[in-house]
């Protein structure tokens, strides 16, 4: 078989695959999209027990399904020697701790100086030129964990995990310091997220918006503020910030959905913990990112009764 090594992914067919075609196995248990299967057939390779076969071939329990990835498309992100705090790196993912104030990837307004530019430089120095594939996004002034996939299959695999609510396959936990106290110590916020009808950069809770769910639990309370543990099962733009405003507890320092704070110069939101499952090992991995200096100082000031 051509392409032995890191470009190959092997999967053992479980007992419940009896009666499935290879295409059904790829689409079902592996969760690949039609587009991904078509690309693999066209540019890479799909093998059953070491032989390249048609996807209508039947799969039996215990069969070995192998995917050979197509050649990598590098993309256009310019490498820049910027600071990059790496939490974890292996052959499939790179997990970094994004600082506040840095954009994830180049945009019309931020053409350079992004996390993606730093990642491109890091990989170029290692002799691993790759396409930059962030699995999810963080707002410019949100700090914490950010995951990059190292190939198209891993990106697709993790992206599909993010869409499976309630299965804890791709779970993201945030810490947020908010104004006031939630009505209950823990709860769930549900409400579609839509663009503001007049301010395109803003988001609002709307019945016409995309479905979104945010879970919260109160960790600490002060006279006029709270520290919340947040879990999201969807990842809409500004979701946590919009939902907490809707709850009546805007994030401290969030000038877009709340008000400025003398204690912190950005929204007090940190992507603290993340759990995901990788395709090669099929095992769950959990990563955490320490609090930034400004958030530690904020919590200290709140504990002293300030703010």
132 in Cβ contact with 150 (< 8 Å): no
* Catalytic residue of the set 73, 109, 139, 254: 139
CA distance 146 to 121: 17
Q: Around Cβ 27, how many Cβ atoms within 10 Å? A: 17
Q: What is the pLDDT of residues 194-229, one digit of tens each?
A: 999 888 789 999 998 999 999 999 999 999 999 999
Is the entire prediction scored with pTM above 0.85? yes
Q: What is the pLDDT of residues 68-122, one digit of tens each?
A: 988 777 778 999 999 999 999 998 999 999 999 999 999 989 999 999 999 999 9
Q: What is the pLDDT of residues 245-283, one digit of tens each?
A: 999 999 999 999 999 999 999 999 999 999 998 876 566
Percent of the residues in the chain that have a pLDDT greater than 70, as a whole number: 94
pLDDT band at 161 (very low <50, low <70, confident <90, very high): confident
Closest by CA to 244, choosing from 179, 186, 305, is 179
In degrees, to the nearest 5, what angle opens at C-alpha 213 toward C-alphas 212 and 219?
140
CA distance 248 to 205: 13
All structural domains of the chain, each given as residue ranges with its CATH number in brackets, are 8-68 (3.10.290.10), 86-160 (3.30.2350.10), 168-273+282-303 (3.30.2350.10)
68 in Cβ contact with 2 (< 8 Å): yes
35 φψ region: left (φ > 0), alpha (ψ -120 to 50), beta (else): alpha
For helices 34-43 and 152-162, angle between their N-to-C axes, nearest 10 degrees = 170
What is the dihedral sign for C-alpha 250, 192, 228, 292? negative
Whether residue 73 lies in the annotated active site: no
Contacts of 292 (CB under 8 A, 6+ apart): 99, 100, 143, 270
């Amino acid at each position: 078989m051509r392409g032995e090594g890191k470009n190959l992914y092997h999967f053992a067919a479980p007992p419940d695959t009896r009666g499935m075609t290879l295409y059904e196995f790829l689409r079902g248990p592996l969760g690949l999209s039609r587009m991904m299967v078509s690309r693999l057939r066209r540019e890479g390779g799909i093998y059953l027990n070491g032989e390249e076969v048609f996807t209508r071939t039947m799969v039996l329990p215990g069969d070995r399904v192998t995917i050979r990835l197509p050649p990598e498309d590098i993309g256009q992100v310019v490498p820049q020697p910027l600071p990059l705090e790496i939490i974890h790196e292996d052959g499939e993912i790179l997990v970094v701790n994004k600082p506040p104030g840095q954009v994830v990837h180049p945009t019309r307004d931020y053409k350079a100086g992004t996390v993606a530019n730093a990642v491109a430089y890091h990989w170029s120095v290692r002799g691993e030129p790759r396409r930059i594939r962030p699995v999810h996004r963080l707002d410019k002034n949100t700090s914490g964990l950010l995951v990059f996939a190292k190939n198209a299959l891993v990106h697709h695999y993790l992206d599909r995990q993010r869409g499976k609510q309630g299965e804890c396959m791709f779970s993201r936990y945030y810490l947020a310091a908010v104004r006031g106290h939630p009505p209950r110590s823990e709860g769930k916020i549900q409400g579609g997220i839509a663009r503001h009808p007049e301010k395109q950069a803003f988001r609002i809770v709307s019945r016409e918006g995309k479905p979104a769910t945010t879970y919260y639990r109160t960790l600490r309370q002060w006279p006029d503020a709270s520290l919340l543990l947040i879990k999201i099962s969807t990842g809409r733009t500004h979701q946590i910030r919009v939902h907490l405003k809707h709850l009546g507890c805007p994030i401290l320092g969030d000038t877009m959905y709340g008000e400025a704070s003398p204690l912190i110069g950005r929204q007090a939101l940190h992507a603290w913990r993340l759990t995901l499952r990788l395709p090669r090992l099929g095992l769950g991995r959990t990563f955490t990112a320490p609090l930034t200096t400004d958030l530690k100082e904020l919590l200290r000031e709140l504990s002293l009764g300030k703010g």
